[in-house]
Amino acid sequence: MDRVTLRGLRARGHHGVFERERIEGQTFVVDLTLFLDTRPAAASDDLTRTAHYGVIAEEVTAVIAGDPVDLIETLAQRIADQCLRHEVVEEVEVVVHKPDAPITVPFDDVTITIRRSRA
């Protein structure tokens, strides 16, 4: 499988288990790797035969900004489900970063990584 990767998609969301997270919101960052066969698109030079990463980026940021969930695991699953709605995407890896997670010790980032496929 070929890969199309988007890194650093950012949007503000209101996800988390704490009331402050729900009220104030925070920035979430998402990295995506879309697995697909790009040969049909390359042979025809036709955008409709590949993953339109501009559209997918807009859809993913809409999921982040959309209905709140408690867990970043749930957010990652929703993002994966959205990506797999594109017929050419066979598999997706989603990394959700929560750099402003409510942790009481110094840290750089919190992430969840999931990989989902049509099968």
Measured between alpha carbons, how far is 47 from 70 in angstroms, rounded to an integer? 36
98 is catalytic: yes
How many separate helices (H) and strands (E) can be counted in the chain?
Answer: 4, 4
| Cα separations in angstroms, 27 against 52, 93, 97 | 24, 20, 9
- Which residue of the set 98, 102, 103, 108 is catalytic? 98
Active-site residues: which are they? Answer: 98
